[in-house]
Structure 1
Amino acid sequence: MSSSLSKRKLDDYADDDSPPFSINPSRMRKDHSTLPSSPSLFRSSSRPLQFFVRILSDRTLVLRADPSDTVESIHGKIQAITGIPAFEQSIIYSGRQLQCDKTLAECKVQNDASLYLVGRMRSTGHPKAWKLINNVIKLIFKLCGSKSPVYVTQTVKVMLAEFMSLTSQTDAEKATEHLLIFSASSAPKALVMLYMSKDNRGAADEAIRHFVTSSKGILNVMHNISGEFVPIILEFCRLLKKAAGIDDPLYCLCRSSLAGMVPNTELGEKAKTGIPDIFPFVQELSTKLTNDFALSTQSMPFPGPSLADIRDFASFVAPLIKEIEGFCDPIKFPSDFRRVCHYGEEARMLYKIFHDLLGIFEMCLRKMEDRMNNDVKQDYGILCVGSCHQLEFAKELHKISTIYSGCEGLFWETMKRNKGAFCNLVVRCAKRSEDHTWVMECKEVTNFEARRHLAMMKLPEVKDDYGEIHEMLIDRSHLLAESFEYMKNAEIESLRAGLFMEFKNEEATGPGVLREWFFLVCQAIFNPQNALFVACSNDLRRFYPNPASKVDPMHLEYFRFSGKVIALALMHKIQVGIVFDRLFFLQLGGRTITLEDIRYADPLLYNSCKQILEMDPELVDQDALGLTFVHEVEELGTRKTVDLCTGGENIAVNSENRRKYVDSLIRHRFVLAIADQVKHFAKGFEDIIGCPRLQNSFFKYLDPEDLDWMLHGSESAICVDDWKAHTEYHGFKETDDQISWFWKIVGDMTAEQRKILLFFWTSIKFLPVEGFRGLASRLYIYKTSESRRRLPSSHTCFYRLCFPAYRTCNVMRDRLNIITQEHVGCSFGTW
């Protein structure tokens, strides 16, 4: 037999990339049938046999012997070569263990046959484990080699479970030795052989799944041995992929389990598993994702890529990203691939994968954008269901883009071209448990709805369990003081759960009353007469902390209370009609105030500072300004001078220090003067949101205008047509005279009267930016059986307006005119 032929025969059964036991049992039986039926034929031949013995370490021995030699003599030869005692050896051939007293001829061992040495029960450390895995292998060969059903007292799964139960969960060294026994015994290859057999697939499936599940359980306790499990699961993946294919459920389970282990495993040239070992899974999953995305763009409904595939792809690609990031700045294509790291070829392939995936992802976004623009509601709904995991996929694409020069910009340009679809993904798919800071790295790609959604997820969710929420009973005549006391003494956790409001001597309770309380208490907090906040001189709708608030010894506690109220109003999605000054907003987000930021807050000071910075340097150095590092402030009716730095009165402003002077002036005027107030307001906000980091990110996610819309609501006048479109009727029909009269009367009202009517109806005076569609519910008009002399009533919790069938339009107008008076329209709802 030539060496090349020997190698070919060996490769058929012992290729490192394929299961050595991948011989089809039916083929095995067919081959057996061609053997001479009588062992005498072997004994009569003097021609020696050459055969191969695969030992536990994947080493292959080439042995020669006469057909008349006993199996025991073969054990002796193996011992002489390997040192493995004969009593620890078991030789398997054609699915049967060879008995020591039999000859090779009696065992029908043919020339160039492949034999397997299994179950070496070492007398070191783990004899029971060796014995167990040896018995598992023997049973597998018995099951695969038998032509008829085999009766067994224990299943492969039970035996494997007993083996796994012996794995130490406290001693990493012992656990590692135990797993090496499993690998050395070629158990993965034997189990895959069993899985591919015709009659034993279910038994093997159960056993392999049990091993994988047990592996995860052990790793939950001992994270530091993931490097021992990964090569085993990796071998299962390779064997199953070749034998069963990538769509096989068991293969998918093993691949996904491997992906879950990779992030906690050290990979590299010195480790048992390297990046080249796992990169094929990146390529495999990228192809699958591409195909699934392509199918999702077709007209027929298709769910698109699964979340599991996206996360597995991310896990497999993460080690390469980490390796590249550790070497240099974003790498340039193609010059840097070989230079930057040991994995230049993988980096090159990932670069191509990124572009391919970005291209197909843009196709999906365009499809979504088209359906959004065409307003095909049915198809759009199907598309949204299929796109529920695409935001996470976009996150992974962005992560890959950061390691290649120019790719991050390409990614964001792609998102900008499909801004509507991308923002729709953010609003529909972003979850509280996920990190979305990457989205805000390019704020221009987001719209108000996306930014609001991301910011709102920083706030606690209002719970439906009324047993946990905080209850308040407030006297309207002492609204601010009593609300302050309740908040001050409340448990923070109960406030985060939600609020239950009731006014003293009033029967009304529920969400409608809560909305009214938020509106009224915010009006009180920001009332300049209470000295907590002052209105901006150029925009009286905007407020910032009053530098002179210290006139009230409790002012800082009230600022903390104010922060809680605003956070709770945002949490409950209630528009309170308040707008923050830009500088106040920026400070809450931890941002530095610059000259351009004060442009609208103090136009006079802004222009003066601009002139100082733009003046001719020679004029400034000639002391043409006559300025020193001091600032004049008014406090409690008196004016005083404050140094902008130590000894500021004696430091003249010149061309070299004028920038420092401007920065110091801005800092003292707009930051230090209200630093304590801002700090305590932020602390109150933090009480509700949970921590300073979340508070800062809440404000950083938003533009100042975004917070305006969230707190104040729509700046537009109430649209009667929009109001009517979102109203339903009970007892009345849309064609009834009373309904026609009602909308005609509302159409004739002033803007303020409409606000009062809306407040009477819903306890909402300021609509969301989206108008009536942004409310939590549609509005309702109910017909009552009460006397026509009765005024309309409302159930603000449920957005219900109730009135009888008035006889004439004038009667209805009179009744509505009464309730649209400010002092009547407030607090008139029943519940």
Structure 2
Amino acid sequence: MHTAMKNATQQAFMALLFGPSSFQPVNHYLVLNVTRENIVADTVRELLMVNSKDLKKPLRVKIFGEEAEDAGGVTKEFFMLLLREILDPKYGMFKEYEETRAIWFSEHTFEDEVHYFLIGTVCGLAIYNFTIIDIPFPLALYKKLLKEPVLLSDLKGLSPSLTNSLQSLLDYTEPDVEEVFSLTFEVTRDEFGEIKSIPLKPNGENIPVTSENRQEYVNLYVDYVFNTSVSKHFDAFREGFMKVCGGRVLELFHSHELMAVVVGNENYDWHALEEAAEYKNGYKSSDQTIRWFWEVLHDLPLADKKKFLLFLTGSDRIPIQGMKAIKVGVYLYF
């Protein structure tokens, strides 16, 4: 169990035994009560009422009208359903980049900042509950969370073609930059069907990009995409994330490690999965039926193995601890 989660559970137990309100029930878990029909609104309501300390307890989700006891599976489904709904393009909260299928904060949306706060909190809860979530943010998000500098190279995580265009501007060796590229210090954006020009600095629409100032232009462009244009949305997201994950422990991570904790990785080791399997109800690893099961799995093409992993865990990626952290209860299948 994660140290902070363990501490929160222990504190709840001690409060139950010795606290001034020892006759009142104390829940060892963070319990969210939601409905499938209004999962976003329900989650917002529940999280806004939660004390920050309770966010570090193990998560249990109760879906109204369903009797399933949450042993992990309901929580995984909760994350999947919630993110699928809140990331739906109909809300316009995020922009998906066609080249990479990565998402980034929309510059303009009608949604309240509380929804960005919610998604940040959900990402934090996923970390504390060892749940991989399918949220296709680029590495730049995790760099910003850890206050690492975001560079032109990070733009590749959204749009390689835009990155290459800006790099070609920097690499151009002839003196006629102004004539060839015909750029000024502004960007154009489609804002609800209306094309608008946004200066990257005061009077930018009247300042041409030249050999002397092109580095400044690229720096301001990258800063606009990742910072100034989405500052309110990102700040709300970060506030929600830090409400769960704030503290010194976060300083131990590099951005790529934090990203792997949230969305998993693809360092598959199928034999490690086999070695970590648990056998009950009389089964042993040497049983012929068990041997057939693993032989079939190992012979499957990677695409089908990933489908099996998706069925087993709710994600086709693996946790940062590796496949040994995935416990297969083989007895469930026979």
Range class of TM-score, shorter chain: 0.7 to 0.9
Asked if 1:722 corresponds to 2:272, the answer is yes
Pair 603,772 (structure 1): closer, same or farther in 2 beyond 3 Å: closer
Structure-1 separation of matches of 2:318 and 2:43: 24
Note the C-alpha offset of 1:754: 0.9
Range with greater deviation from structure 2 (737-746 or 704-713)? 737-746
Superposed CA deviations along residues 280-300 of structure 1, whole A, max 9, x for unmatched, are: xxxxxxxxxxxxxxxxxxxxx
In structure 2, the partner of 1:406 is none
Superposed CA deviations along residues 494-548 of structure 1, whole A, max 9, x for unmatched, are: 22334332122222223323333234333434444443333343322x3322223
Other structure's SS at 1:502 match: strand
In structure 2, the partner of 1:780 is 329
> What is the 5 A alignment of 1:510-549?
510-512=70-72, 513-540=74-101, 542-548=102-108
Equivalent position amino acid for 2:46 in 1: Y
For the 8 Å contact 1:585–1:704, the answer to whether it is kept is: yes
Superposed CA deviations along residues 347-387 of structure 1, whole A, max 9, x for unmatched, are: xxxxxxxxxxxxxxxxxxxxxxxxxxxxxxxxxxxxxxxxx
For the 8 Å contact 2:142–2:256, the answer to whether it is kept is: no
In structure 2, the partner of 1:625 is 181
Superposed CA deviations along residues 446-490 of structure 1, whole A, max 9, x for unmatched, are: xxxxxxxxxx87889552546253322221233223222211222
For the 8 Å contact 1:579–1:711, the answer to whether it is kept is: no
In structure 2, the partner of 1:173 is none
Other structure's SS at 2:66 match: coil
In structure 2, the partner of 1:505 is 65
For the 8 Å contact 1:518–1:576, the answer to whether it is kept is: yes
Asked if 1:479 corresponds to 2:35, the answer is no
1:708 to 254, 259, 262: 259
> What is the 5 A alignment of 1:22-101?
none
Equivalent position amino acid for 2:107 in 1: P
Equivalent position amino acid for 2:192 in 1: L
Note the C-alpha offset of 1:562: 0.8
Structure-2 separation of matches of 1:687 and 1:588: 12
Task: Say how many residue pairs are matched.
Answer: 314
> What is the 5 A alignment of 1:4-403?
none
In structure 2, the partner of 1:86 is none
Equivalent position amino acid for 2:329 in 1: Y
Pair 616,668 (structure 1): closer, same or farther in 2 beyond 3 Å: same
Pair 731,627 (structure 1): closer, same or farther in 2 beyond 3 Å: closer
Pair 678,601 (structure 1): closer, same or farther in 2 beyond 3 Å: same
Note the C-alpha offset of 1:569: 1.0
In structure 1, the partner of 2:22 is none
Higher fraction of helix: 1
Other structure's SS at 1:580 match: coil
In structure 2, the partner of 1:296 is none
Structure-1 separation of matches of 2:142 and 2:329: 37
Structure-1 separation of matches of 2:206 and 2:6: 52
Pair 615,723 (structure 1): closer, same or farther in 2 beyond 3 Å: closer
Note the C-alpha offset of 1:642: 0.9
Q: Rg bigger for which structure? A: 1
In structure 1, the partner of 2:133 is 576
Other structure's SS at 1:538 match: coil
Superposed CA deviations along residues 154-175 of structure 1, whole A, max 9, x for unmatched, are: xxxxxxxxxxxxxxxxxxxxxx
In structure 2, the partner of 1:689 is 245
Equivalent position amino acid for 2:259 in 1: D
Equivalent position amino acid for 2:146 in 1: G
Structure-2 separation of matches of 1:603 and 1:756: 29
> What is the 5 A alignment of 1:449-460?
none
For the 8 Å contact 2:297–2:305, the answer to whether it is kept is: no
Other structure's SS at 1:632 match: strand
Equivalent position amino acid for 2:260 in 1: W
For the 8 Å contact 2:126–2:133, the answer to whether it is kept is: yes
For the 8 Å contact 1:630–1:643, the answer to whether it is kept is: yes
In structure 1, the partner of 2:308 is 754
Structure-1 separation of matches of 2:203 and 2:149: 25
Equivalent position amino acid for 1:483 in 2: T
Equivalent position amino acid for 2:110 in 1: V
Other structure's SS at 1:662 match: helix
Equivalent position amino acid for 1:475 in 2: T
Note the C-alpha offset of 1:747: 5.0
Unaligned residue ranges in structure 2 (runs of 5+): 13-25
Superposed CA deviations along residues 785-817 of structure 1, whole A, max 9, x for unmatched, are: xxxxxxxxxxxxxxxx264xxxxxxxxxxxxxx
Superposed CA deviations along residues 374-408 of structure 1, whole A, max 9, x for unmatched, are: xxxxxxxxxxxxxxxxxxxxxxxxxxxxxxxxxxx
Other structure's SS at 2:175 match: helix
Structure-1 separation of matches of 2:99 and 2:76: 29
Equivalent position amino acid for 1:463 in 2: T
Q: TM-score, normalised by structure 1?
A: 0.35
In structure 1, the partner of 2:166 is 609
Pair 660,476 (structure 1): closer, same or farther in 2 beyond 3 Å: same
The percentage of aligned residue pairs carrying the same residue is 22
Pair 725,614 (structure 1): closer, same or farther in 2 beyond 3 Å: closer
Structure-2 separation of matches of 1:657 and 1:764: 46
Other structure's SS at 1:520 match: helix
For the 8 Å contact 1:468–1:497, the answer to whether it is kept is: yes
In structure 1, the partner of 2:15 is none
Other structure's SS at 1:524 match: helix
Greater RCO (Cα-Cα under 8 Å, separation 6 or more): 2
Unaligned residue ranges in structure 1 (runs of 5+): 1-455, 783-800, 804-831
Equivalent position amino acid for 1:670 in 2: F
Pair 773,664 (structure 1): closer, same or farther in 2 beyond 3 Å: same
Superposed CA deviations along residues 663-711 of structure 1, whole A, max 9, x for unmatched, are: 22222233222111111101111222346xx5xx82x643343233212
Structure-2 separation of matches of 1:496 and 1:732: 37
Equivalent position amino acid for 1:708 in 2: M
Superposed CA deviations along residues 748-780 of structure 1, whole A, max 9, x for unmatched, are: 662354124413xxx6664324433224xx443
2:211 to 635, 651, 655: 655
Other structure's SS at 2:158 match: coil
Pair 632,504 (structure 1): closer, same or farther in 2 beyond 3 Å: same
Structure-2 separation of matches of 1:738 and 1:611: 59
Structure-2 separation of matches of 1:461 and 1:522: 28
Asked if 1:679 corresponds to 2:238, the answer is no
Superposed CA deviations along residues 24-66 of structure 1, whole A, max 9, x for unmatched, are: xxxxxxxxxxxxxxxxxxxxxxxxxxxxxxxxxxxxxxxxxxx
2:145 to 565, 588, 598: 588
Pair 733,650 (structure 1): closer, same or farther in 2 beyond 3 Å: closer
CA RMSD of aligned residues (A): 3.1
2:9 to 458, 463, 486: 463
Structure-1 separation of matches of 2:225 and 2:289: 58
Superposed CA deviations along residues 94-129 of structure 1, whole A, max 9, x for unmatched, are: xxxxxxxxxxxxxxxxxxxxxxxxxxxxxxxxxxxx
For the 8 Å contact 1:536–1:581, the answer to whether it is kept is: no
For the 8 Å contact 1:732–1:739, the answer to whether it is kept is: no
Structure-1 separation of matches of 2:311 and 2:188: 48
Structure-1 separation of matches of 2:232 and 2:253: 23
> What is the 5 A alignment of 1:404-423?
none
